[in-house]
Amino acid sequence: MKKILVTGGTGFIGSHTVVELQNKGYEVVIADNLSNSSENVIDNIFKITGKKPAFGKVDVAEKDQFFKFLSQHSGIESIIHFAASKAVGESVQQPLKYYRNNINGMINVLEAMKEFNIPNLVFSSSCTVYGQPEKLPVTEQSPIQPALSPYGNTKQINEEIIHDFLSVNQGLHCIALRYFNPVGAHPSSLIGELPLGVPANLVPFITQTAAGIRECLSVFGNDYNTPDGTPIRDYIDIIDLANAHIAAINRMEENKQKSSLEFFNIGTGRGLSVLELIKTFEEATGVKLNYKIVGRRAGDIEKVWADTSYANKELGWKAVVPLKETLLNAWKWQQKLADN
Ligand code: UD1
């Protein structure tokens, strides 16, 4: 059984990826400092898969504890690195927290690959590196634009750090997955997104509004240059996203890479406006959503969606879950949370 280290494995994307890895026969080791998640997630992963991942409450950004943990888990062949701070607004307020956590964590992961002979890495990057692309859909060749937040900047800087490191370390490989907007929850409603406080992202805000936790959803601007005036994004199901990581691991295991560092867009290829997403949510769940149009949110991109043809062809991966199913899963998860 191949052993994989998943940093940040109890988080939203991490936990769903752990489930899919275990379902495909991988042995999973999680390092997570639980800064934005809970250890209960491990029990719920076990309820879904019948397998308990090894777990350490470990801060990947702290080299001593991270390396100590790794020295206790031999035979790791690949790392999927999720552990990072991810709130865009908070990153503007506390830039050093983001640079310290996200950059140190990345450096430690790369040093660990060398120190512990771990050849393969999947890095969780973001479509935020493209900024507002000139041409849509956006391909992997689109130019990188100046980051709009310290959070976004850490994704760009980390891509560069990986590039520089791999160019002088033969035999080590990385696939950076540039996620579009991950949404949804596991169909079992045992794991999902657990936003701290008031959600900044659209779908958790929608489900909390539908559940009556929030009074009203604010739609940030309807004066954009889009058909209905609201911004357009590419919303991708969390299970589809999780499976992209397995495709990336397989590609490296089979040595199918064209270069030591590759980038892939992980989206559906379909752009949806905020109003279209709200409508789809209402249709999928039968719940009428209370919303109002307010002013634009600073830093928001007008429109972005993925050209996924390169990922489809090279990774042999494709997003397949219909959006209605995704939104229904997000809603079921929210209802389950409210019951507890
Ligand atoms: C943001 C970040 C992105 C990050 C992602 C996940 C920016 C520019 N991008 O993406 O880097 O990877 O979060 O954390 O900050 N919206 C509303 N009302 C709400 C919330 C959102 O109308 O209450 C709208 C937004 O204006 C946007 C869309 O919904 O048009 C999606 O927003 P969100 O879920 O926050 O994701 P992004 O802004 O696309």
Q: Please tell me which residue, 338 or 314, carries the higher pLDDT value.
A: 314
Q: What is the pLDDT of residues 140-157, one digit of tens each?
A: 999 999 999 999 999 999
Mutate to test the pocket of ligand 1, among 180, 226, 268, 300 (most ligand atoms within 8 A of CB): 300
d(CA 57, CA 70): 12
Mutate to test the pocket of ligand 1, among 127, 294, 297 (most ligand atoms within 8 A of CB): 297
Q: Which of 319, 310, 301 is nearest to 140 (CA)?
A: 310
Q: What is the pLDDT of residues 186-213, one digit of tens each?
A: 999 999 999 889 999 999 999 999 999 9
Contacts 24+ apart (CB under 8 A), 222-225: 222/275, 222/293, 223/296, 224/296, 224/302, 224/303, 225/302, 225/303
Confirm or reject: Cβ of 304 under 6 Å from ligand 1.
no
Confirm or reject: Cβ of 126 under 6 Å from ligand 1.
yes
d(CA 327, CA 114): 41
Confirm or reject: Cβ of 211 under 6 Å from ligand 1.
no
Confirm or reject: Cβ of 65 under 6 Å from ligand 1.
no
Q: What is the pLDDT of residues 229-272, one digit of tens each?
A: 999 999 999 999 999 999 999 999 999 999 999 999 999 999 99
Closest residue by Cα to atom 26, ligand 1, is: 220
Closest residue by Cα to atom 20, ligand 1, is: 202
Which pLDDT band holds residue 1 (cuts at 50, 70, 90)? confident
Q: Which residue out of 26, 130, 151, 235 is catalytically annotated? A: 151
Is 151 one of the annotated active-site residues of the chain?
yes
